[in-house]
Structure 1
């Protein structure tokens, strides 16, 4: 009986040891797999709005690796062709076509043993201006943008009970980037106006406009400017404009009201009503 008990005990012990060994082996395999995987930590993943458009990508990895980015599941581009843990690249988008403004991408890393790993899916927003769909479209957009850039806009002026027709041209010089898809946070601009049937016909002004995107309209933009007519009428303009709708996904038709104040002389004050096209296509962008 003692011998049988010893045999049974030994068999039970062996089964326990076998199960324990298998369990430890499985844990070891999973632990080794996790240790060998490469994590990607994204730093930058955005598109510069000024042409030529480039995708700016930078990230670091948990271990040294080579890396490739797959954009929109179709376009492959090498980020790092040498082993390292810091990776960065600027990738041109001129020849790529996308169906929407939000574009996904994944990062493929390869360790020193030749094993490849795929990161989680990230995405970036195509810039608000211009929306790139193809090389020929971009050329057409540049031509159309140049024509709009040179085109003055109609302006209706009321001063001292007298009304006049005017042509005005505003050019955004410096724009400030925002997290919005369609418009910058604001911009600095220069504007020239020519007023017909007025004693002082030429006005030059510099100003700042703040942009708030709206759901029911494109945007609401309060602003102020300093102006001069070079003949003593120097003052401040307070304005409010509303973006109505877009043209070619790049230009926005807006309506604007502006009240101009000449300090110390109310006879120099005047009102303006105007329609125009806004575009930051030729603007210089700051973060």
Structure 2
């Protein structure tokens, strides 16, 4: 049976062995009672994802042996992620979310949890498990490395009175960005000696980008006035997809335009 991967960060006052070799299970919805943190997923420091996919973060915190008046577990998700649920577990995997106040803002991606009495969690190990959604049709360009791969970081925090400690970052990678491209040929060539009494065919190759916001898409060919458009077909590979958009041929202006009904459907396509 395949184990689901969870990306995890930790704050620890002592070395507890190799997290990469430990195995854990995904959390259930945060509203359920008496949950147990399961043990059948692989814990990793980085993972691959894609737009629209749900990911799970697990953050480990050791509160240590210094008395405290304030304890806050905090995670500010990147804007391209949408927070969906969060649960706090103790070292035995028991749900202790109800022993404090959980705040989750789906819009801003800020998750915080604070116990009613901080010292109730003196010298305790806690896990904050967060489920998030990778937003669709947003711009990931700020996260791209030099190879064009978006790498989305996540860092959690433990706040104890006036001291803040960060977890090591964990990374979610998206597939390499497909850049936009357009190319035009006539009868398969860059140049052609034509007979004005015969029809000939132009081909426009268009590649729609990925990892970018695409709300509007138009493929337009404004030909010289001496040419008259007769017919146009839009294909993806060998498949005719003309009816997935609106095709306009204007003989008076020698213009062809195709506008897809759903631009995002063609992201990364040619």
Q: TM (normalized to structure 2)? A: 0.31
Relative contact order (alpha carbons < 8 A, sep ≥ 6): 1 or 2 greater? 2
Select the structure of larger CA radius of gyration: 1
Q: Higher helix share goes to which structure? A: 1
